[in-house]
Structure 1
């Protein structure tokens, strides 16, 4: 690979890691930007004469990273408990499908486990632009998810992963499809304008894209620490969910990172143990030292601690004749540090909103 192609590759991969970090603050534009990056990265690589080997594995790993940040932002931002329940199922269903895809290398699995979560997230955020999602019933959220699943994602997943077709090539080979697509787009636009739009309820607030303010009772580090100290335990359903989320994502990355010799199961078990240690650290900090307000500072401190744990573990393993790839281990420690930091800051918000069975307050009017 030439120096130019290397620079382009690192730039695109860096963007795919950085752009998702904007999702918690600006959910809709940030996830759309991540979606666009996902769609054009291979084309950009090919423009510069580079076709990454094992692209499907790399692409699915990067997809699950930005989807995991989107899921964690659901914990921070969403005020509708029914929508949160649907989103949680859709996210972990897709995560399980990607893991099976990496294990079995069958594209059909990506059709069986479609990425409905992404478009459901976008649908929720479109609603939140003008209306209060907390007033929408579980039935309507389930219908929304089902429509996305059946009419959007199944055809898309079949087109991309099973038929492996390209839009540009198909339209060039069958130009008569162009007017048909134009008619479909116009028909959908007319349906939205003449039927759907007049039936929408009155807007609840002025259009806004930034995330709504946190609940007053948990919008500071001290309040978050107090909640965590009172309600969290090392062995809990929340810890189990963290282990599943982070362990499976790291296991997916383990299939595409060079130098990783552990099996997916071995990696998942090792990462799971590391996550449990981090949960214990989070509890100790909340109860004794107190966490910091800045997310960047919290991530930096956790990354340093985890890097120290990895270096120490590497020394011990090599001392007894084992073999630990330090570079890959440090990458996993950074990924774990980032996701744990986001989880620790966002999960208590969802627990406060939904755990007491109270209706979430409306966002501040703009």
Structure 2
């Protein structure tokens, strides 16, 4: 799947009962990183208010073609230029017919003619209207012009009929919108990413580990694959379904992870060290389970190899990205690691902040490189991952 990080989505809402789903669709698009503006037809305003969609999108909702306040009366041109994608959901039979005819009799159809952005329709109508030859001809004509469709789904409709014509669910539409932007920014690149925790054995039963869930690393792997990279994910023990189009290498300890990374170094252009690697391991691993004994027990630890520093110092030229999960002085410590370990880039996040970091679905990070930095606001880890991959694509050697 592609991503919508900093993409401008112009959402058109036409007049059908499925218009209520546009509220959830806005949220889904924003969670994927999109900037959303909304255009509503007059019919749409009978089903859901502009105020609702304005509150959700954070932007004024546009409803009138002739608006003297909007860019000196040329608001449709401004919107058309702003959009990276025009997504119309729901797209009623009437709206589809007007688009097929090239009509420009309201703001939405005028913007559709005026934009160079791709057009994605999510049809919604009665099952018989969907099956009608006129609708079929209109859809065929639009597809021949390069217009894309998502749906419709089949099922029970508001009128009581059962059949095709239901608007697809907002999450499916949002994913389809994201798929319109498979950028290929890392096309042909080979990326190795580490993820999850490592486990350092004490005996056959116990081990030393940490709270990393692996979610951030897995999101990065999915984003790298979506950007066209041949992606290998070297993963510690996690409970996450592997991303599609990604090779997964399962490891346990820090030394296992280093061996797996070094064995793939000759075929690696970009290395992203996202795993939470244990800094130390027990000096001696007991062959049998350690039995309960005195109230006190001493444990001798030795330092684990520094995986990201080892990769950065290798003779093979690799664009190396580290992670700095800190609880205090986050940017200061991250900048120090960037310089000390000879990294090309580092991603800093405050794991002491509630709701982000380990085990959470969201994150908030700052990406730093020699001479610059960019902050990424709190968002789902998939959105943050897409932003990180975009930064890497802009700064790594061609």
**TM-score class, shorter:** under 0.3
Which of the pair is proportionally richer in strand?
2
Relative CO higher for 1 or 2, CA cutoff 8 Å, sep ≥ 6? 1
Which of the pair is proportionally richer in helix?
1
Give the TM-score taking structure 2 as reference length: 0.21
